[in-house]
Amino acid sequence: MCINTPGSVTCVCPRGFYGDGRKDGKGCIKVTKSKSKTIILTGIGSALGFLLFLLMCFGLYKMLKKRREKMIKEKFFKRNGGLLLHQQTNEGALGKTKVFPSQELEVATDYFNESRILGRGGQGTVYKGMLSDGKIVAVKKAKLVEESQLEQFINEVVILSQINHRNVVKLLGCCLETEVPLLVYEFMPNGTLFELIHNPNNEFPITWSMRLKIATDIAGALAYLHYASSVPIYHRDIKSSNILLDEKYVVKVSDFGTSRSVNADQTHLTTLVKGTFGYLDPEYFQSSQFTEKSDVYSFGVVIVELLTGQRAISMGKTDDDRSLATRFLTCMEEKCLDKILDPQVLEQGRMEEVLLVARLAQRCLNLKGKRRPTMKEVSTELESFRISQMSCSIVKEEVEDETVFEAKPYIIFRY
């Protein structure tokens, strides 16, 4: 069948034939079985070849993508201080700290969903996550990719890898292959000491014995950092919001981003002033020299928070009364401590015990660092106060039991 076209003609062969259908050309040639097989095999071969080409292209794309992702992760690892961490850890490849893949932490936090946020701080945001094994963790994500903050993150990994204490938060691992570094900690379900003191729960009031135990445990952790760890460590940012509480309300000192290790013969660190107003040692603020007694001052403010239930800085007051430490020291000098104490402390605590703790806090807040006690002395004193308090509680219970027993009427049976 031929169709005329301008200046030419187009012919189509009938079914079972092939060719151009022209008399002056190939004409129409009948398709034989062998020729049919050849055409079919040629078509299949062409299809398979094209499919193989597509598979090769896809494999090459995946390989290049994987290589690119690896290069990006290596770039982030170096930028996020991985090499610095490698140098500072004693055992080389991140020591005993587990390195989490970025994908696992993304899945654990539902891709850092805002509903998972536990808190925000100066260094970053903390998310609640669940690992593949079902373990609940807290994932700390850096806020900004700045060199100073990266140093704080790496410093926190190095510091916490050296510490093993029941009252210091445990670092489970880190991830440095993401755009910003991630740190993974054990999860603390009961928030911070700041929330416990300043946002009280009527169903679970913070008792005097609980306050004393919290103060004792914090002091024990700081004494360990100063004297019992492999190298002395100054925390440099002790405050109630950096004290976490586990499911049994056991305290865990956290946030070691600004902490520093010092040599055994080193008496102070000369650094830019870092810390939180209200907890900052006035001597350090003036001299820029941070000593172990600077941590003692900050801890003294935390004790006063526990005693008074008031914030370290009260924005609604005048400049002179804004500092809790200043108001407390004034009350101690004027012997009007009862005016500043928390009502629950007045109600539940024995006045002798409360006064002893208050005097210890007064010594910790001495403006001259040399006159402050060491954290080891503070820990020992608080431990003795607590043992004494527990002994008094036991004696009181025994006396009450005896009183109840003696008060029971005697019934005389007559036979």
The catalytic site residues sit at 237
The two structure tokens encoding residue 199 = 């946002």
Contact 239, 302 (CB under 8 A): yes
Separation of alpha carbons 203 and 200, rounded Å: 9
CA-nearest of 277, 245, 274 to 259 is: 274
- Using CB atoms within 10 Å of the CB of residue 33, give its burial: 0 to 12 exposed, 13 to 18 middle, 19+ buried: exposed
Cβ atoms < 10 Å from Cβ of 338: 11
Cross-strand pairs, 20: none
Separation of alpha carbons 294 and 286, rounded Å: 12
Strands 124-130, 136-142: pairing kind: antiparallel
The two structure tokens encoding residue 251 = 């305290």
Kindly calculate the radius of gyration of the chain based on its CA atoms and give it in whole angstroms.
37
Residues near 141 by beta carbon (within 8 Å), at least 6 away in sequence: 112, 124, 125, 126, 127, 180, 182
Contact 314, 324 (CB under 8 A): yes
Cross-strand pairs, 168: 253
- In the numeric block, the tokens 């926190």 are attached to 156
The two structure tokens encoding residue 147 = 């060199």
CA-nearest of 295, 280, 143 to 219 is: 295
Q: Which bin fits 255, alpha (ψ -120 to 50), beta or left (φ > 0)?
A: left
Chain CA centroid to CA 301, Å: 23
Contact 258, 274 (CB under 8 A): yes
